[in-house]
Amino acid sequence: MKIHRGDNVIVLSGKDKGRRGEVVRALPKEGRVIVEGVNRVKRHQRTTQVRKRAGIIDKDLAVPVSKVALVCPKEHAPTRVRYSFGADGAKQRVCARCGEAL
């Protein structure tokens, strides 16, 4: 996937459309990402041996990576990702619009 943990993304569709957040976890096998504050749901949690507190907790569920776009740190706008090779031959991600390394 072109979006990694720690990236700032914007949601393109759904109930959190327009919301920005940081990717806290990337799930490449599922093609999904977990974004801070996006797809937040209430979960009713009962106590277990490891978790003594019961109650309603907020949890961020994974969203399809196709529903988010990377936010370019330079332009502060949603963009696509391209790959290029640096002077040392290393593969790097660049902004498809301004060419800034990501």
Binding region for Zn ion (CB under 5 A):
72, 74-75, 95, 97-98, 100
Least CB distance to Zn ion at residue 71 (A): 9
Q: Whole-angstrom Cα distance, residue 12 to residue 9?
A: 9
- Please identify, using beta-carbon distances, which residue of 35 and 70 lies nearer to Zn ion: 70
Length of the chain equals 102
- Please identify, using beta-carbon distances, which residue of 10 and 72 lies nearer to Zn ion: 72
Least CB distance to Zn ion at residue 41 (A): 32
- Please identify, using beta-carbon distances, which residue of 42 and 76 lies nearer to Zn ion: 76
Burial class (CB in 10 A: 0-12, 13-18, 19+), 37: middle
For residue 87 the two structure tokens come to 């002077």
Least CB distance to Zn ion at residue 52 (A): 47
